[in-house]
Structure 1
Amino acid sequence: MTGLAGSDTALGGAAPRAGRNLPIAVAVGVGLLGVVAASLFVRKEAFILLAALACGAALWELAQALRRRGIQLPLLPLLVGLAGVLVSSYVAGPEAHLVAVMLTVGGAVVWRALDGSDGRALRDVSAAAFAAAYLPFMAGFVMLMLAAPDGDRRVALFILLAVASDTGGYVAGVLAGRHKLAPSVSPKKTWEGLGGSLVLASAVGAVGMVWAFDASALVGVALGLAAVLTSTLGDLAESLLKRDLELKDMGSLLPGHGGVLDRLDSLLLTAPVVYLVLLLALPVVTS
């Protein structure tokens, strides 16, 4: 969902360098953006449901991936906690967000304890805490943005920044990429691609702040730069996890893109940064 072609595809042709089908990847990416836009601007509750489905699918993919190392995620309490975090964050704000995350971790620990205490219990509980911090906690910041009176525009800018980072890096990397950014983690990422991400995301941030909020373009540039850094870190972090698990993709639910988590990785780490910057630049006024 963060890019039209996917982070590992190459420009031109149906059989790109990374083995992805570019036309299908673009079609799926455009379709995803259309569904997100429709849910976001028609009714906020629809977007919450869409976010819950996407994050739930990502949790399921993570659970399947961790099984390769003998780790059993307590999936049911994590899924219930995910719904609780999203709804609580949207309805009741930051304090409820933190409480719901802590309850999710606690529920996962209790669930695993009731399942029996063996040599893998501590490892499973640690994985559950990681999963709760990685998905429900980070996704909750999107709900905090959405809860603002202009929340639809805040979330739209957040998503467009991630799309700009991915797309700018993809195009610049394909056209001019020569110097590897992190060859041991993600061989196809280049410094030139990072430059393309910075340029496009800064431009989108500047235009978005002026057009959607009548605010300073400089704030938008800073927001774009910050979003690129977190998007890149999020993508590299998931690449490192996949490399450790010996996986190319986290799943295959999205043709041309891999798994849902492969599309959410950069969004997850970017959400708290965009939320905080927008909160400082555009304080929410409550009546």
Structure 2
Amino acid sequence: MTDGPDRPLRRGAKRDRKKSEFEVFAHDARAEIETQLAATRAQIDAIEERIEKRTGRNLIMAILIGLVLGGILLVSLLLFTELFMAFAAVLACLAAFELASALRFAGRDVPRLPVIIATLAVMPATFYWQGTGQWLAILGGMLLVTVWRLAETAWPDRRPSGRDLLKDIGGGLMVMAYVPFLASFAVLLVSQDGGQWWVLAFLIIVVATDTGAYASGLTFGKHPMAPKISPKKTWEGFAGSGVAAIVAGVLLALFMIDQPWWMGVIFGIVMLATGTMGDLTESLIKRDLGIKDISTWLPGHGGFLDRLDSILTSAIAAYLVYLIFA
């Protein structure tokens, strides 16, 4: 028979042994979980690296930034159209600043401050005074940019040759015509009766087109569409964008802007054509300037102009479609 004092000693030893076994089990389980997490993260990183190598985008950051901008857009369109005008003005200013800066990097002395001032003036003028305000603000902005550059030549160190001066002025006018002028048609459309739904519809089609091209090109893309302008664009991606544009156009025509289905087909095809043209136009500008992205302000997207290129050219087309059908 065991002595009384030995009994608690053995019980304590058993508890210590069980505790030690539990600690070993917990340590092994934790190590296994950490190994699995590390392996999963490595797989995700490898997938992301392949996608970025194939498309030139950081997919996760692109999605997050797209969701933030899309949320602001929805709130501004559906709740307070004046907020959309302000939102469009901010985006247009950032895109115009990026393009002017890229031109300066390429050797063209485009004054950025008057470009920003003029862009800010165009949006409220278009929203409150519509077509008349739009054209007056655009022409006034072009005049401001031209006079500003001419005034800078009063300083001897800022006095270029006549040829370079003309190129500088031409660059400033190009920025005004490409960014604030085209962007103002989205503001002009939203100021119309029911225009906010048309703006939302054409933006959804443009996003659907871009998404369709991205998914289809990533999965099936083999044949380059315009290798000298944009090497990553393929005909398979274009086909996917076409399907997405038509499907989105039909659904939005029936359930958002109260139009017949065949008008949705037309709407989708028009947005596909203008969006692709805008994308290729910006790619050609970047190729001529010798840069990959207009800026690096938006991780996964490049710059604001890189995200607005398809929208800018589609805005004027959407406004014309509205005038014809609505």
Match of 1:118 in 2: 160
TM-score, normalised by the number of residues in structure 1? 0.91
Q: In the alignment, what sits opposite 2:300?
A: 256
Listed one character per residue, the Cα deviations across residues 116-161 of structure 1 (whole Å, up to 9, x for unaligned) are 1531321111001101100111011001111012122111012111
Distance 1:270 1:20 in 2: 23
Q: Which amino acid aligns with 1:105?
A: M
Residue 14 of structure 1 aligns with which residue? 48
Alignment of 1:26-175 (within 5 A): 26-116=63-153, 118-119=160-161, 120-175=164-219
Once the two structures are TM-superposed, the CA of residue 217 in structure 1 deviates from its matched residue by 1.2
**Greater RCO, 1 or 2 (C-alpha within 8 Å, sep 6+):** 1
Identity over the aligned pairs, expressed in percent? 38
Residue 216 (structure 1) aligned to one of 260, 267, 277: 260
Equivalent position SS for 2:47: coil
Q: Report the Cα distance in structure 2 between the residues aligned to 1:88 and 1:271, rounded to whole angstroms.
A: 17
Paired residue secondary structure (1:72) = coil
Structure 1 residue 244 displacement after superposition: 1.4
For residues 70-125 of structure 1, give each alpha carbon's deviation from its aligned partner in whole angstroms, at most 9, with x where no partner exists.
11212222212112211111111212211211111111111111111531321111
- In structure 1, distance between residues paired with 2:60 and 2:241: 22
* 1:14 match: secondary structure: helix
CA distance in 1, matches of 2:198, 2:64: 25
**5+ long unaligned stretches in structure 1:** 1-11, 283-287
8 Å CA contact 1:181, 1:189 repeated in 2: yes
CA distance in structure 2 between the aligned counterparts of 1:158 and 1:219, rounded to whole angstroms: 13
Aligned residues of 2:96 and 2:176 also touching (Cα < 8 A): no
5 Å-filtered alignment, 1:181-192, equals 181-192=225-236
Instruction: Give the alignment partner of residue 231 of structure 1, picking from 268, 275, 281.
Output: 275
Query: What corresponds to 2:37 in structure 1?
Result: none
Q: Which has the higher helix share?
A: 2
2:38 aligns to what? none
Secondary structure of the 1:13 match is helix
Q: Which amino acid in the other structure matches residue 87 of structure 1?
A: P
- For the residue of structure 1 that corresponds to 2:225, the secondary structure is strand
- Find out whether 1:193 has 2:237 as its counterpart: yes
1:68: how far off?
2.2
**Match of 1:187, SS?**
strand
Contact 1:13/1:22 (CA < 8 Å) preserved in 2?
Answer: no
- Displacement of 1:21: 2.1
Superposed CA deviations along residues 227-281 of structure 1, whole A, max 9, x for unmatched, are 1111111111111111111111111111111100100111111111011011110
Asked if the contact 2:100–2:172 (Cα under 8 Å) also holds between the matched residues in 1, the reply is: no
After superposition, the Cα gap between the structure-2 partners of 1:211 and 1:19, relative to the gap in structure 1 and judged at 3 Å, is: closer
CA distance in 2: counterparts of 1:13 and 1:48, whole angstroms: 39
Contact 1:176 1:192 in 2 (8 A): yes
1:275 to 2:319 alignment: yes
Which secondary structure does the structure 1 equivalent of 2:48 belong to? Answer: coil
1:176-208 CA-to-partner distances (Å, cap 9, x unmatched) read 112110011111111111111111111111111
TM-score (norm: length of structure 2): 0.80
Give the residue type in structure 2 aligned to 1:220.
G
Larger Rg: 2
5+ residue gaps, structure 2, are 1-45, 154-158
- Give the number of equivalent residue pairs: 271
